[in-house]
Amino acid sequence: MADNDYYDLLGVSRGVGDEDIRKAFRRKAMEFHPDRNKSPDAEEKFKEINEAYQVLSDANKRAQYDQFGKAGVGANGGAGQPFDGFDVFGGFGDIFDSFFGDGTGRRARQAQRGSDLQQRVVLNFEEAVFGAEREVEVTRLENCSVCSGAGNEPGTPLDTCNTCKGNGQVRRAQRSVFGQFTQVTTCTSCQGRGTIIKTVCSNCRGGGKERKSRKIAVNIPAGVESGIQVRLTGEGDAGSEGGGPGNLYVYLDVQEHQFFHREGSDLIYELPINIAEAALGVDKSIPTLDGDDEELSLPQGTQPGSEFRIRGKGVPHLNGSRRGDLRVSVDVRVPGSLDDRQRELLEELADSFGTPTGDGGDDKGLFDKIKEALG
């Protein structure tokens, strides 16, 4: 709320009497009341005027305000309940309710959409990549199978409500400082239906709803990830007063894979090789999610962490036909223990690195022996 001077808000000087303050308030309230003034800031201005009046119309609060300003009457100008305390105008709080509701949040009975439901489904890695069809069981509110949601026993009549005469609403006229106003509220006798049930349905006891368990097929598209939700429109709770049903949201939780992990639409596979294979180069069979192995040739001198791509063997783009890639990350394994032959060969290799051998032919032969020894 703007930090405006209370006297300025009411348009009066500091020395005016109580009657002048009351007249100024009535004039300003009629000018800025949201039912009369349609400007965007009218409601906020109206609240400020109300706050100013609550302070200046109280002798003690006014004295505190004159001496200390707003700090003397609290952060909210001493207005603990901003729209109460106007008995001098014959029930100002009731008048405000007639514009912004009746204070209980009730409104004319309207069609209400049913509640949304949630369900969790666990998928294995392949199901998430290639899509799947799963069945989920939900318990939801449905229209009563006996009365079709009407609430009365089939074949029995519905009486017109005597209180609202079938309108579902009642009107109450009030006179106030602003003139005469009509307040419209939901009829409490029929809860806004306009009719009274004489004989309630034996199945739903007049509620019009019953809980049912249903098995619903869910089509999981290819390429989904954990945290994605699939919406099944209209598979939630039934609505009321002609409102549509809610939705069913299926939240997906994808299990990890033994060999692959995922980065977006790409699959990552870590390929373990030994130091001899990394130095000499090697051909390797790479598993894929499709079930067929792909041949990959690693060049001579492959370094740890090197990455190679196999195009089109990754994850399908969600709602698309193109697939990502299978990225092969090389993990050069250094043996933690050696047998005597392996140690002998590696020591010989270490010596050869210190002695140039020309074209490297002897080193290659030694690498082949190490490769064979390392298995």
Task: Convert the pLDDT of each residue in 269-286 to its tens digit.
Answer: 999 999 889 999 999 999
Kindly state the tokens that stand for 235: 């598979």
Kindly state the tokens that stand for 44: 């906020």
The domain limits of the chain are 6-82, 113-153+209-256, 260-333, 340-374
Helices (H), the chain: 6-10, 18-32, 42-56, 59-68, 92-100, 125-130, 275-280, 340-354, 361-374
The mean pLDDT value for 223-241 works out to 92
User: pTM to 2 decimals?
Assistant: 0.58
CA distance 16 to 127: 80
Q: How confident is the model at residue 71 (pLDDT cuts 50, 70, 90)?
A: confident
Torsion of CA 40, 43, 48, 51, to 10 degrees: -170
Residues 6+ apart with CB under 8 A from 333: 272, 273, 274, 275
Domain 6-82 sits in CATH at 1.10.287.110
Domain 113-153+209-256 sits in CATH at 2.60.260.20
- List pLDDT tens digits, range 2-48: 467 889 989 999 888 888 888 888 888 888 877 778 888 888 888 88
The mean pLDDT value for 334-362 works out to 74
CA distance 148 to 209: 8
Task: For domain 260-333, give its CATH number from 3.40.50.150, 2.60.260.20, 3.40.430.10, 1.10.357.10.
Answer: 2.60.260.20
- List pLDDT tens digits, range 117-147: 999 999 999 999 999 999 999 999 999 999 9
CA distance 122 to 247: 20
